[in-house]
Amino acid sequence: MMSNSWKITLPCTRAEAEALDMEDFLPGAQDIAPTLVTRRADGDDDTQWLIEIYCDDKPDKAMLKQVATLVPKSDGEPELEELPEEDWVTVSQQGLEPIRAGRFHVHTPDHASSSEPGVYNIRIGAGQAFGTGHHETTAGCLAMLDHIRRSGARADTILDLGSGTGLLAFAAEHLWPRAYITATDIDPVSVEVMGENIIANGLKSGMRQGEIAAIAADGMDDLLIQARAPYQLIVANILAAPLIALSEDIAAGLSPQGNLVLAGLMNHQAEDVLRAYRRQGLRLAHKIVDGEWSILWLRKRPVV
């Protein structure tokens, strides 16, 4: 998107930044949905962060007031800045350093791939979708998938629920290259971004073995998702509330002895999420804690 655009900046703490989600901020006055970015403020203090919201249209006073409600205890007021004619989605993600999680090296087009043997390179460009690997939940999912693969787990059918950029689906394809992979997101824009990233990473889009079927879907309520079930591996990096709400449907779509990775939940929410899935016959196999976030690996009990 090339246009004069606007940026709103609001100071916050790291905990407040990590607890935010775009669903917390859905203004109706904007023709194009804003992009919400959180980053550490300049300096050495890791507790001081910034919320940056990039908009195609000039925000009005009502929108600025809505931004202020995201962090009621903020040390400052929302600051509005007009940006030059640039692709502001790309600008919002420029400067992201490559990350290493498990055997994965995730980088933007601004950085080179890793030449280290045994490392899987994944290139994720800027876009209106979640999942560059820099958030603890996404990086934790990458590490968990690598851990599951090293355990010898089989995954011929894989579902990435809430895929965003497609990063976790790409990771699964590297680890289980002959799997049938379905990657879904509720946001059609994210599905478009995912398709672009599939091409950029030299992967194949489609319905056949070793290909990624990228579709827009709301939860498990989709004919293709249901037709390809049961899945030997499901990854759901969304939020605690929808994870709990979808627990019955997700568990029903998982094969006996299947593996499930849950993320997008803070540490204090983990027990509630676990309780919901234990009721569906799953048990905890492994847990990764990264800062204030938990990543869970659960297994479904075999049919007796």
Binding-site positions? 138, 162, 185, 237
Residues annotated within a binding site for S-adenosyl-L-methionine: 138, 162, 185, 237
Tokens of 152: 């010898």
Nearest to 127 by CA among 42, 210, 199: 199
Residue 88 · residue 2 · CB < 8 Å:
no
Q: Tokens 């968990």 — which residue?
A: 144
What residue type is 218 in one-letter code?
Answer: D
Q: How many CB atoms lie within 10 A of CB 65?
A: 12
> Would you call the peptide bond into 230 cis, given omega within 30 degrees of 0 as the criterion?
yes
Phi first, then psi: give them for residue 138, nearest 5 degrees.
Answer: -70, -45
Indicate the burial class of 25 (C-beta count within 10 angstroms; 0-12, 13-18, 19 or more): middle
What one-character DSSP code corresponds to residue 212?
E
Residue 227 · residue 196 · CB < 8 Å:
no
What is the number of residues in the chain?
A: 304
Question: Distance between CA 122 and CA 100 in Å, rounded?
Answer: 10
Residue 141 · residue 235 · CB < 8 Å:
yes
| DSSP E strand boundaries for the chain | 2-13, 35-40, 48-55, 79-87, 99-101, 104-107, 120-123, 157-161, 180-185, 212-216, 231-237, 254-266, 282-290, 293-300
What one-character DSSP code corresponds to residue 205?
B
